Structures are given as structure tokens and as C-alpha cells.
Structure 1
Amino acid sequence: RLVAAGWQLRVLRLPGVPQRISGGADGALSSWGAGELASRLEELGTDRVHLVLGFAAADSLAWAEGVRRLAHTLLIAKHVVGPLTAAAATGERAAFVTVTQLDGTFGLGGVAEDAVPAGGVGGLVKTLAVEAPELFCRALDLTPALGAGEAADLVLDEVYDAAAGPVQVGRDGVRRVALTLGEEPAAPSADAVPLTSDDLLVVTGGGRGITARCAWALAAAHRPGLLLLGRTALGEEPTWARGLTDQGALKAAAVDQLKQADEKPTPKRVEQLYQAVVGEREVRETLAAIRAVGSEVEYLAVDITDAAATAAALAPYQERITGVVHGAGVLADQLISAKKAAEIERVFSVKLGGLRSVVAALPADRLRHVVLFSSVAGFFGNRGQSDYAMANEVLNSWAAAWKRSHPQTHVTSLNWGAWDSGMVSPQIKAVFEERGISLIPEDTGVRLFAEQFAPERSGDVVTVLGPTTPLSEREQAAPASPVVLERDLASLIGEPLVADHVIGDAPVLPAAAALGWATGAVERLTGSGVAEIRDFAVHKGVIFDDSLDGSRFQLSFDPTPDGAEADVAIRSTTADGTVRPHYAARVLLGGGARPQPERVTGLPALGGGSDAQALYSDGTLFHGESLRGLRRVLRDDESRLVIECGLPEHRPAGGAFASSRYAPGTADLLLQAALVWMRRHRDTASLPMSVARADLYEALPDGEPFVVVVEPVSANGTSATVDVSACAPDGHVLLRFAGLSLVSTPQLAAKFASR
């Protein structure tokens, strides 16, 4: 498909992949080494690259192979982010797109456990979108049921998508889904069992830090037995450190100890001795605190990345263990462009290898509780934490996979926000406060953790705990150079918005939909809301008849030099090359919330006046059933027409003709009301031709009543200009078309009446 579209192709074949792709330069890797990868990418000429399309999984990969591919994908991103960013700086489209075939829902529907590591690629792409916002970033997951041709079409649909978001998309050939937070918790499992003193839980990383505090809270709430695993080896405290608690005094004693041992007291060695003492003390304090609240607890010093050592350590307890809390993890924060293979390995080995080591050492059918410490860094992506985000996304997919194969187990992946603890420096905390991100207080966090073991939480397979705000956000900028978007309109013929907008014998695209197309496209291109559109003009409506066959429709976005506004034009090119202008507008960019205008006063109460449905049968309006949202005429004066309205919203093409404050179906009611004014007070059929200014304040209510007010500005025998406002019943203005121009079209009166 890419070759047919004219792309120059470079193919990087991973080790063991025999398939060659014709039409492009071929580069084969013989190993997974970082050095060979860098050399091969340089040979392929990635200094000028506009699209990186990474297939991040393959059929029947073993877990370890999947993790290795996942790490390799991050290294590829490291090498291409620079060239892609350079291409984007010239105003060209530059994209990083990954493709997986889990289940079309990011592995969250539950897949085979060995397939789970591919789910981590979303954490990479979401982090890349934060670190390099000028790039188009997309992590696409397809259902394996798709054929290759259909899958390729869906991949290129996403590659060419005009909208920068969502970054994570799932496709199954019917639905297109994104990932967001549910408003309500999942229903609990029918066979959920409570945590009791008869349970024995393994807690990785449980001797120190946040996980240790959570283990104490769990003991206080439920009294289970706890088996804490950690890397800190417990022994007798060295003589030189006994009785010393002050940091300065301890480090001074460490310096003396090193000198006595004829070892140079470098800052690194002093810190090592100091941390060893502090770490052992913290583990002992954790054990004492847990015993004090009534739980039995033991501590095992073991490296959980060593599967054999982990199995040996757990063997004596194997038949008693009923649950796992995987809280261990390490950080190696660094931008993607500076990531090192060793850092990725360190992060993955603890988070992913550690989990597998512990679970493999235990009888799966005995596990009743499995709780994983994941992070919002994976759920949202987070600057500088690509490998950590990837590992935590794998935990989310693993939880779904384990729950599917072990439905009797309470499995939860806890995506924690940032804790207000020693892990967050004062500088980072200040940044969070400036962005309005609240941290999780320690007492709140440990309470939430303990509550997660209640039977009523047993349905929470993937859960976000704490603030639901991303730790770092993508700063999407508006394009500084012209952009052309292309859309196939043929599929709209089956949408009620078009099928019920027929003039004469042919459906016609509503002007309100064209305005929504422009508004929605600008919002998706710029990442910010649109609040004002000026000089919207209808040059030639889009008629769904034979003339549409073979036509290509394009929307052009041309920003002004100062970046404050953009000219938008919608044109079509016919099969013979004829270009037809259809609509034009100027859109104000960077539109935040606008100051509300004064309320419209003197509005009649809802429910009065006369039934407006007759307007659809007496030739005043031509609109079909799904667009008949004018309910009652509340006032009918030449100086002011007031109509009560309400309509379930239309969002054709997945919302492509709508924006955050605008939807075409309800907006069309403003145009309908203007046509009513012309019929009532100029006795003529008419059509809208232009809008001097559209002010978008708030979205119109979906299916709920609102009021439309039409007030004339000027009129003559063949045309009129009116202001049309959509208001809440209390006069609060939601949407206003100022300077709406109507042109008398007497020849259409019969066509209106025929509808």
C-alpha cells in the first residue's frame, strides 16, 4: 500500500525475520545489539524520514522474545526521533506509528500471556507524543481476526489521520476505540472472596518505601500473613553505625570506617555504606510495625529478577501462599533520545521479569489475590519515563490476561498517581502544584490500597488511583504552514444528517455540517478549541447525486503569518480535474473560553405558544424526521421569532463534523429557525448563504430543550440578514450566528412542499 502511494520505502528486518518486502531498500539485523541497530539505521538513510511504521509484535512469540522486541522498539524510537523532529520542523508531516495485533482493545480484553508484552508499546508512543509534540504519534492495536488487506487499510487510515489524538487507537474492522477512564467502578466478581488472616501474601519490594507502607496498612486492615521480598540483605548492624541517627553523623562515621580499612572515602562509597545502614533499618522498622498491628511477617532477601533464586526462596512457603502484591520497581528516567539499553533492561527486569519470576514459582490455582503496582506514567505517558511507562502498560495487559485465564482470582493493576512522599523532590512537587496536579497524601494512598482488597473492588482489573490528570501533557502547537486534508463524503449518504436533508430529489450537505467540518478539523489540527468563525460562505452546496461520483473533497487550512487565524476552504476535484469551491471561512485559533455575552431577556416560558411541527408539513421546511427539532413557536413577531427546540445530536463519521462546542444537528436548528422567519415575514423560501460571525460558547444540549431567537438586522425583497441565538431557557447564550445571510429562492418552494 505504501509503495503504491508513492512512498520511498526502507525496511528494517528484525533478527530471525525471513520475509523480504519488494519495493524498498532492505536492511536485516543479525542480532538485537544496540550497536548493530544504530549502524543499520544509518545505512538505511533515516536522516530524511517522514514515517516510521513499527510492527511491534509477531505471532507465537515467547514472553522473553516479546519483552526483547519491546525494548528494541524503544531503541528504534531513540534513533529516529531526531530525524523525525527535523522533518517536522520544515513544516512536513512526520509520524511514528506502531501496530500490534492483540485484540483491538490494547490487550485489555484479555489475551494469551505470552502476547502481553506487546501491550507496552502504547506507553512508548504516549510518552513520545509528550516529549516530541510536533510529531504525529499513534499506537494502533488491531484484532487478529482481520485479514492482511483489511488490516493494511486500517493502518493507513491511522497514518493519514488529520487528528493528533487519540494517540492510542484500537480497530476491529467495525469499531474504532480509544482508552479513557470509566465513570463508575467495574461490577465486583460474583465469587469474590475477602482477604483474611488465613491468607499469606508475597509482597515484592515490601521492605521499604511506599510498598512497605502499603503492606503495613494491609496488615492493619485485614491481618494477612506477609512475606516481604527485597534486595536489601539483613545482617547485624555494623559497630561503627550503632547509636547514630543523624545523617551527617552517620556519613562521618562511614568516612572514618573507610579510612580505617585503608579505602579512599569517595562520595560514592560513603553513600553506599550510608544507604546500606539506612536500608536495613527501614526494613527492620517495617517488620516491627507490621507485627505491632497483629500480622505475621517474614522478610526474604532475594533478587526477584533471578527466577531460580526466587523459586528457591519461595519453595518452603509455596503451598501456603494465596496472593501476590508486586510493588517492586526501579526508575531510570531519561528522554527517549538519550535512552540506553542497560537502563531499559534494568527497568524491565524488575517490573516484568520480577513479576514472572514470582508467579512462576507459585501454584496458579492457589492465588486468590494478585495486585500490581502500575502507574499513570503508563496510562497517560510521561516525559522522561518511556521504559517505565512501557513496563507499567504491560502490567495492565497482564492483569487483563491473568483475569481472563483465572476468573476466580481478584486481579488488579493499580495505576498510581504521584505520591506526596520522599520519591517526589521539592522541585518536581512545585511543578505539579503549578500545573494543578495534586499528589496522593501517604495516609490516603495506603488507605486506598487496603480498600482495594475488599470484595466489592474485585472487578477493578485496571484502576487509576489518585489524581486523574497526566503527570506531563502534550503541548500541541497549531501548524505554521498550510495543511490539506482529504475526506471521502460518499459514506455520508447513509447518515440521517444527510439522508433527512433532501431538497427536491437529492440529499444536500447541511451548511451547518460544513461549518462543523471546518471547526472540527481546525480543533483536531491545533489541539485547542474553536470559539469564533468569521465570514463563513456557501459557494456551492455539496449535492449527493451523480455529480459526486469520483469527486475528491479537500479542506485546506492556511494560517495567517501571526498564527492567530486561519483561512479554511472546502473544495472538490471532479474526475475530469475540475475544481469546485464549496465553502470558505476564517477561523480564530487558540480559542479558549470566551466571555459570555449578556443574557437574552424577555424570553417566553417553555411549553407555550403553538406546535412547530406543522412547519415540516406546510412547505416552510423540507427536513426529514431526524432533523425535526423545532418543537414550539413561543413568539412570532417580525422583530423577534422565538422557537423552543430540542434534538438528539447527530455525530456522523465519528464526530468529524463536530467540535468540542459545536454539533451539526442541533446547530442546523438555528438555520431552520431563520428559514421560518423568512417564510413567515417575507413569504418566501430561502437558503442560508453566509454567516458573518459564529460565536461558540457552549455545546447545545443533546436532546434537551433550548430556545432559538431570530432577530432581523436588515431585509429587502430578495434577501435578509438576521442574528440567530441559541439560548438556555434562562437566556444564557450558547451559540450565536451573527449576520446570517438568507437568499430568497422562490423556485424551491415547491421542492420544500414536496418533502
Structure 2
Amino acid sequence: KMSAVQSINDILNVIRPYVNREETATAVPATEAQDKAVSVDKPVALAPAIARARAEEICPRCVVMPVPAALEAAATPALAEGAYLLVYREDDKEQAALCKALTKALSTRKCVGVPVAVDKLSDRAVAERLVQEARSKQGGVVGFIHLAAIGDSTHFPDVDSATIHALIEQETGSLLYLLQALDEELQGANGNAFAALCATVGGGEFSLFDAADAGEPDTECRYPWRGALAGLVKCAAKEWPAARFATVDFDDSPTADLLISELGHAGAGEVEIGYRAGERLALIVAAESLEPEQESPALLTREDTVLVTGGARGITAEVAKSFAAASGAHMILVGRSAAPVPESEDTRSIETPIELRKILVARAKASGEIPQPKLLEQALKALLANREINNTLASIQAAGGSAEYVSCDVSDPAAFAELLTTLRTKHDITGIIHGAGIIEDKAIVDKSAESFHRVINTKVDPVLGILKHLDIEKLKVCLLFSSVAGYFGNRGQGDYAAANEILNRIGRWMQQDIRRKGLTCKVAALNWGPWSGAGMVTEEVERQFRSRGVGLIEPRGGCKAAWNEALAASAAPVRVILGPGSWEGIPVGSSRIATELPLLHDQSVYRLSDGSITAQVTLDSRAQAFLEDHIIDGNPVLPLAVATELMVETAALAKPDWQISRVEALRLFEGVVIPAEYREITVRAECDEESAQRSSWRVAIFDPARKIRPLYECRVTLEPEIEDAGKLDAGVAPCKTPYPKSAEDAYKDWLFHGPAYQSIRAIAGYDQQGIDAEINTDSTALVASGRDKWIVNPLVLDTVAQMAILWSRANYNTTLLPNALGNLQRFAADSRASEADQVIILTRFEPDSGDETYTANAWVVADGKVIYHIDGLEGFGNAEINRIAS
């Protein structure tokens, strides 16, 4: 079977059946996976049909919660010396004074503050000239603080759409143009990690809704349009990983010293931070299902009328149909497409675009026209839209409800206002489902101002119209369709994230206002993950989501989730995150763990209430050298050695004062390939055995989108103390046959490893039984400087796997890749290996090893002391895989 492999996926598919032959991978139902860390005992796989049915019925639900995020008492990290742009409003005396104070504070740190009036950032060209001037005068720009959104403004909703458009242009548009102008610096061209801080007042959501219950005024989200800044910054952090970003929302104007502190800590934790009553807060996503006591009786009945924007097509249509089936309510569907007409007989039964095009071409020719491709595609698009609207109306009718369709561009405030006024005279509208929206994805640096505002206005303006022209006191339910792109950020979706973060904050404001007025309308901002087969997800986008560990929502489960939110009591959180992804599995009551461990630093790590540990890890091939220098068939692949360290680090957090002594029963079930620059994975550690002298943990790496089985699993043992050094097995003698290549030529001809992994200094010898080499243990190239304090040095473990490849190439001309490890014992002398004069690896192969499989044992010896002893390293491959060599 190995002779046919052509790619890394082919390799993994062939290897997989040989991994742990007597066991299959762990199967954990999705509902269990949300509540506890995953067990990696012998599993029973779910039948595909059962697994699929569960996926269709279940749409995971999470809420966003503020948690304390106090900074350590240590001094503010040193700022890079250079110029910092300070963006402020000249007509705001408070901002002008703060800008002056910041300039003074920066000067004491050998930095220069360069005040920039926000009005001067009126478009990209102006911003580029301003930045170029700062480069010339100051010798370079190393950071900025954006202050334009900390001043007071007219409170929502006492602002019309034109005013909000102007405020978004001034506050968020200026940031867009500044980011575009600073692209060179944000990519790290000046050698420093660019520091970017965006400060806002009244633009965040960092308090729970209890304030209103206590009779206190809740001032959260009083300027909801400022949420756009948070959405844009979170996307910028993903598009420029070399830079350090933070967006901080305050409940009152901050001091210069506090802003300098946040600037210094930018990039050292969460991107989005808030201050409430002097307390520093971050936001976490916590899994929280709706309990029966949280539900209200069904609000919507046959007597109700629901206004649905964007409701005749896509995911909103699916939800509208399900609501009609559940309630019998009348649905008013509003969309940009023309009002539907009955479809012609000649196309009604035709499904495929190819056949439909043929009919349209024939129509054009019959009328004497020359078919033009552009007009043909427009006609096809209109035909399919007309069909989908007709099908939606028919489905609602068949489900027991009633429906009408109205054509209107809801992003046109005047047109939508006229429609709402007309509808109000005909109907008592008691429900809102706002699903209208567009995407025009592009990287921030390539985004036009027109497109940026078009995406935001299409999402935000309809809500402003609804608040102004409908009787809110009659509403029973208002569902705002938002997106996970807003809360998490997403490459290429800066405008869409900005729009949805505004929507989330409008939802919070509505909840506060409704509660203050003593009303009972249920308001929810549903932050959807991507849907399968509906909505704004193309096949390519769907593939990218799945590759990054983000699962897709099945329509049945998504519709059920929306109905459940409509039923939820009005005190339930406004912003909920719906869908499978790396954000799942953190129950309420979990605590965030801060760590300086090399791979988990800056990742989201939590201790769950049952004591288990969960880490949500982003693998980014552009920012992590351990991926950049491990390329197979054109794609970065997570090395088994790095996966081992990742699992070990997660287990180590359980008992920080103990030592890792062993890693056992490590199995690779599926390789972690990063085909689209980054990918999300989840690491879970659960205690298996505990005593005064020993703590054993089962650890697994999962793809968040597919929790049926792990990608990797192992058992990690911790002890209070470990032996200083191990011993060589009796009879292990040096290999004496000279190796046919130098280490340099071996990397050039037979190995695929990039510079960060090229650790072999010299190959001392080899034979049929083994291979010996002297190595370099300096692993600083794998991670950011100063963060190479490994527990199990992945460079050393990967070198053992490299030596197995060199052994198989020299003896059989095959390439064998590692897929399992029986036992790795670690000794205390490992911590001193970097100071050793000589480190050698002795690798010996079991007699049944050959050209397609091997089982190897290895000793890593530093200045005569064994620092690692490896038993049962297994690998598999053949000559076809030789092609992956560099």
C-alpha cells in the first residue's frame, strides 16, 4: 500500500491502521466533551450514522464572561525605543491633555510621542504621507496609541445613522487607515515587535447583567459603535502576528501611566481588556447549556408577526422556517432580491447550473439576442434567488405558518424607514430576527474604505431603523445574528468583525433598556460559527474552517439553538456563541492559568472545576518556527516531538512544583497539518492516578471540529523528585561503520528538516543495529528568544526521529516517520544539557526492524550522563516517502 502514497495525508492514512493495532481512538460524545476533560481509555467508536445524527441535533453553546486579569506587580515591560504615534481629537480638551501627558511619560523611557490629530487620518493616502513623515523625522515608528474613542459622545440611541456613520469613520476609519499605512512596521521590518494600543470608553462589555437587577444604572455599551474598534484590532492581531496588539475599554478616562502600562503589556495575553471600577478584566468563553429553569414558555404563537431581515435565503431562512413550524407565526421576510414570481415550466424541474445555463442560452437565442457570459450569470443568479425565495415561502406555509416577502435594501436607511412605517400600520410586529449582512473579505491592508463601511452599515443600519421606527414595547423576542468573527477576530474579516461587535453591543444596550423599562422582551446576539450548506460559507471557506479546527453548524442543530435562545429567560446573557470550535469545553467556574512555558505561553489555558486542564492552542506557521521548518509536501506539519512537549506542558500545569518523570503510551492517530497558515487544536489533560509520590495524567490533542477521536494521546507521570541521571543498557557499544554522508550532506539530501531542526553535528557511525551522532541541543530557534525552557526538549526528541530516518536511508533507502513511543524517561540532568561540552544520541533498533517499520531504543547522553532514555519509538514508511527530503 505504501507504494501509492503521494502526499502527507496519504502517508498518514497508510500509517494510521498500524498505530496501536489493538485499540481504536477514543470516542467521546459531544455532550460529554463539553463538560469534562476527555478520557483516553480504550474507546468504543460511534457508528457514523449516530454521530451524524447527534451533530445535527446538537449546537454547542457558550457565553462570554469577564474574569479578573490583574497584571503582576512587576514594572511595566520596557518599550522599544523610537517614535509612538498618539492619535487624538484636537477638539477634545481631555484627549489633548492626555496626549501631552503621554508624550512626557514616553520621553522618560527614551521614546518619542508624536501627536496626530485624528482628522488628519481622513483616508489612506493622507495616513501614508503622515507615517512617511514620521519615519523621516523620527527614524522609524515603533508603536501607536489610538485615543480618539475615549471622549464623551451622545449616548445611544439618541444618534441617527448619519451621525453614527461619521463617528465610525472618525474613530474606526482612522484606525483602518493607520494600520494600512503602517503595514511595513507591523510586519516587523524595523526589527522590533510593533506595539499597538487602542483605547475606548463605553465601547466594551465587561460587566455581567446583575447591575440592573440591583437597581444600579448599567453604563455598559453606551457607545456601541466603538465595538468596531475591538473587532478590527482582533483581526489585525491575526493578520500581523509579528506585532503586539491590545484594545482596552475603560469606564472612565484612563491616566497616561495606565496607558503606558497597557502598551507595554500588549501582546502578552488577551487582545481585548477592560477596566471596571479600577479592576482589570479579560473575557473568556465558557460552555453553558440552557437549563429548564432558564426557559420561559413559548413566546411566539399564531397571533404573532415576526420581521425577518435577510430572511428569504441562507441561514436566516432556515431559522424562519423552523420558527414558523414551532409557533405558526406570520413571517415578514425582507431582502434585497426582487419580489418572487412563479418559475417557468422549462426550468422548474432543473437543478444543475449547467442545464439551467443551456436553457437561458436557448431563451436568449430564441429572442434574437447574443448570449453574453456576464448577463447569463446574472440571469442564472436571479433565477436561483427567485426559486429559493419561493421555496422558503412554500416551506413556511407547509410548516403551519404564513409568510410574505418584501423587497427592500435594509442598508438604505430612508427606504427601510419607509417600509417599517408601512408595516407598522398593518401589523403588530412582536418579533425580530435580524440576519441581513454581507461579506467582502479582504486583508486589512487591501481593504477599501467604501467596502469597509458598506459591510458595517448593512449589518448595523437596519437595527437603528428598527429601534427608531418600530414599537419596541410590543416586542417579545429580538434575535440579532452576529458572528464568532467579531469576538475572536478572523483574517480578512476586519470589517465583518467590526460590524458584529457593534451588533453585540447594541444587543446589550437593548437588554439594559428593556430591563429598565420593566419589559420582558428577550434579546440575544447570536454569535454563529459557520453553517454547513447555508449562509456565507463557500466550499473553500468551509475547508479552511475545518482545517483550523472550527466545525460547521448543521442546519437542524442551528435552528434548534436559535429557538432555544428565543425561549430563554430574558435575564440570560445577550451574547452567546453557537457552534463547534476551539472555544468549547470551558465550563463556568473554570479558572484561567497564566504560564511561561514555551508552547503554552500566550495560549488560552484553563483549570476546569474537576481539576482537569484544557488548553486552546493556535498553531501559526507564520509566527512559529517549529512549524515553518517542518514542511512536508508543502504544508507545515506539527512534529511528534513538539506534540509531545505540548502534552507534557499541559500536564505539568497540574502540579507546577513536581517534575515530569515519564511519557508513556504515546500514539499518533492523525497528523496535525496546517494547510491555511494557522489551525486551532485543543489539548486536554485528566488525572488518571494520584498518590503522595506519583501523579499520572492522560493527555490528548484534539481537533475541536471533530472530537470523536484524538489526534495524539499519551500518559504523563509527575513525581516530587526525579533521578539525576540514567544508565546505558549493558551491551550498548558504539557503532563503528563510517556513515556514507556528512551531517551537512544528510540534511541536504536525505532529511526534510529546516534550519531550526538541524541539530546533528556529526554522525559517529552506524550499522544494521543502530546509529550514533553528536548533537547540538540549542533550541532557541524553535521559539521566541528566552522561551526555550523546555520540559522535554523537542529538538532532542526530533533528532532521535531524524536519526531513525538516516538509519533507514543508509540501510534500506527508505524514509520511516515516527508514529508512537512506548516510554520516555526524563532525568534531572536534562536541565543542565545546554551547558554540556558534548551531547550524543545512541539509537538501537530491535531485530524485527526493517525497510518499512522499526522499533528503536535511544539514550541521550550529556557529558557522560543519560538525560533521556527512550524505549519503543516506532516508525513506518517506505522508499516512496524519500521524496519529502529537501
Q: TM-score, normalized by length of structure 2?
A: 0.53
Moved more, 420-429 or 39-48: 39-48
Q: 1:176 aligns with which of 280, 283, 287?
A: 280
Q: Which residue of 2 aligns with 1:454?
A: 567
Q: 1:8 aligns with which of 80, 83, 86?
A: 83
Conserved in 2, the CA contact under 8 Å of 1:82 and 1:337? no
How far apart, CA to CA, are the structure 2 residues paired with 1:208 and 1:351? Answer: 16
Conserved in 1, the CA contact under 8 Å of 2:203 and 2:225? no
Q: 2:179 aligns with which of 66, 69, 77?
A: 77
1:271 paired with 2:371, answer: no
SS in 1 for 2:523: strand
Q: Which residue of 1 aligns with 2:22?
A: none
Q: Which residue of 2 aligns with 1:302?
A: 408
Q: Give the letter for the 2:186 counterpart.
A: L
- Within 5 Å, which residues of 2 pair with 1:165-314? 165-172=269-276, 174-185=278-289, 194-234=299-339, 236=341, 243=348, 245=350, 246-255=352-361, 265-314=371-420
Q: Which residue of 2 aligns with 1:483?
A: none
1:734 paired with 2:839, answer: no
- Within 5 Å, which residues of 2 pair with 1:48-197? 48-55=140-147, 57=149, 58-61=151-154, 62=159, 63-68=164-169, 69-87=171-189, 90=191, 92-102=192-202, 105-106=205-206, 111=219, 115-144=223-252, 148-149=254-255, 152-161=256-265, 164-172=268-276, 174-185=278-289, 194-197=299-302
Shift of 1:323: 1.8
How far apart, CA to CA, are the structure 2 residues paired with 1:337 and 1:171? Answer: 30
Shift of 1:56: 5.0
How far apart, CA to CA, are the structure 2 residues paired with 1:527 and 1:10? Answer: 29
Q: Deviations over 1:76-133 (max 9, x none)?
A: 2222233221346x2x221222111227645876646650011222222221222222
**Distance of aligned partners of 1:15 and 1:49 in 2 relative to their CA distance in 1, 3 Å threshold:** same
Conserved in 2, the CA contact under 8 Å of 1:233 and 1:301? yes
How far apart, CA to CA, are the structure 2 residues paired with 1:323 and 1:132? Answer: 41
How far apart, CA to CA, are the structure 1 residues paired with 2:652 and 2:489? Answer: 29
Conserved in 1, the CA contact under 8 Å of 2:652 and 2:718? no
Shift of 1:34: 3.9
**Distance of aligned partners of 1:119 and 1:380 in 2 relative to their CA distance in 1, 3 Å threshold:** same
How far apart, CA to CA, are the structure 2 residues paired with 1:93 and 1:139? Answer: 16
Alignment RMSD (CA, Å)? 4.3
Q: Deviations over 1:268-306 (max 9, x none)?
A: 222112211221221121111111222121111111112
How far apart, CA to CA, are the structure 1 residues paired with 2:462 and 2:259? Answer: 34
Shift of 1:75: 3.0
1:368 paired with 2:483, answer: no
Q: Give the unaligned 5+ runs of structure 2.
A: 1-75, 104-112, 210-217, 585-592, 606-623, 628-639, 665-682, 699-714, 725-827, 829-886
- Within 5 Å, which residues of 2 pair with 1:367-446? 367-407=475-515, 408-421=520-533, 423-446=536-559
What number of residue pairs does the alignment pair up?
536
Shift of 1:369: 0.7
Q: Which residue of 1 aligns with 2:851?
A: none
**Distance of aligned partners of 1:159 and 1:228 in 2 relative to their CA distance in 1, 3 Å threshold:** same
Q: Give the letter for the 2:465 counterpart.
A: S
How far apart, CA to CA, are the structure 1 residues paired with 2:381 and 2:295? Answer: 46
How far apart, CA to CA, are the structure 2 residues paired with 1:452 and 1:434? Answer: 29
Q: Which residue of 1 aligns with 2:23?
A: none
- Within 5 Å, which residues of 2 pair with 1:527-546? none
Q: Give the letter for the 2:196 counterpart.
A: F
Q: Which residue of 1 aligns with 2:135?
A: 45
**Distance of aligned partners of 1:86 and 1:699 in 2 relative to their CA distance in 1, 3 Å threshold:** closer
Q: Could you say which structure has the larger radius of gyration?
A: 1
**Distance of aligned partners of 1:409 and 1:661 in 2 relative to their CA distance in 1, 3 Å threshold:** same
Q: Deviations over 1:131-189 (max 9, x none)?
A: 22221121212222xx543xx33322222127632111122364332222223247877
Conserved in 1, the CA contact under 8 Å of 2:435 and 2:481? yes
Conserved in 1, the CA contact under 8 Å of 2:120 and 2:127? no
Conserved in 2, the CA contact under 8 Å of 1:206 and 1:212? yes
Conserved in 2, the CA contact under 8 Å of 1:87 and 1:94? no
Moved more, 390-399 or 447-456: 447-456
Conserved in 2, the CA contact under 8 Å of 1:241 and 1:250? no
How far apart, CA to CA, are the structure 1 residues paired with 2:183 and 2:208? Answer: 28
How far apart, CA to CA, are the structure 2 residues paired with 1:107 and 1:323? Answer: 27
**Distance of aligned partners of 1:31 and 1:9 in 2 relative to their CA distance in 1, 3 Å threshold:** closer
How far apart, CA to CA, are the structure 2 residues paired with 1:35 and 1:16? Answer: 23
Shift of 1:221: 1.0
Conserved in 2, the CA contact under 8 Å of 1:351 and 1:391? yes
How far apart, CA to CA, are the structure 1 residues paired with 2:641 and 2:278? Answer: 34
How far apart, CA to CA, are the structure 2 residues paired with 1:292 and 1:312? Answer: 31
SS in 1 for 2:287: coil
Shift of 1:10: 3.5
Moved more, 374-383 or 184-193: 184-193
**Distance of aligned partners of 1:343 and 1:263 in 2 relative to their CA distance in 1, 3 Å threshold:** farther
Conserved in 2, the CA contact under 8 Å of 1:163 and 1:524? no
How far apart, CA to CA, are the structure 2 residues paired with 1:705 and 1:238? Answer: 67
How far apart, CA to CA, are the structure 1 residues paired with 2:355 and 2:369? Answer: 19
Q: Deviations over 1:497-539 (max 9, x none)?
A: xxxxxxxxxxxxxxxxxxx99x62645657599xxxxxxxxxx
SS in 2 for 1:86: coil
Conserved in 1, the CA contact under 8 Å of 2:206 and 2:281? no
Q: Give the unaligned 5+ runs of structure 1.
A: 472-515, 530-560, 565-588, 598-658, 671-690, 710-724, 742-755
Q: Give the letter for the 2:181 counterpart.
A: H
SS in 2 for 1:178: strand
RCO greater where, 1 or 2, for CA within 8 Å and sep 6 or more?
Answer: 2
Q: Which residue of 2 aligns with 1:520?
A: 596
How far apart, CA to CA, are the structure 2 residues paired with 1:81 and 1:328? Answer: 32
Q: Deviations over 1:8-52 (max 9, x none)?
A: 343444585576545544444357344433333333338832212
Moved more, 265-274 or 399-408: 265-274
How far apart, CA to CA, are the structure 1 residues paired with 2:325 and 2:537? Answer: 26
How far apart, CA to CA, are the structure 1 residues paired with 2:646 and 2:340? Answer: 67
Q: Deviations over 1:410-459 (max 9, x none)?
A: 00011111111154333333333444432111222222222322245861
Taking every aligned residue pair, what percent have the same amino acid on both sides? Answer: 27
Conserved in 2, the CA contact under 8 Å of 1:53 and 1:98? yes
Moved more, 102-111 or 244-253: 102-111
How far apart, CA to CA, are the structure 1 residues paired with 2:647 and 2:388? Answer: 57
How far apart, CA to CA, are the structure 1 residues paired with 2:601 and 2:646? Answer: 24
Conserved in 2, the CA contact under 8 Å of 1:126 and 1:382? yes
**Distance of aligned partners of 1:165 and 1:288 in 2 relative to their CA distance in 1, 3 Å threshold:** same
How far apart, CA to CA, are the structure 2 residues paired with 1:596 and 1:347? Answer: 41
- Within 5 Å, which residues of 2 pair with 1:606-617? none
How far apart, CA to CA, are the structure 2 residues paired with 1:526 and 1:308? Answer: 47
Q: Which residue of 2 aligns with 1:355?
A: 463
Conserved in 2, the CA contact under 8 Å of 1:108 and 1:401? no
**Distance of aligned partners of 1:596 and 1:52 in 2 relative to their CA distance in 1, 3 Å threshold:** closer
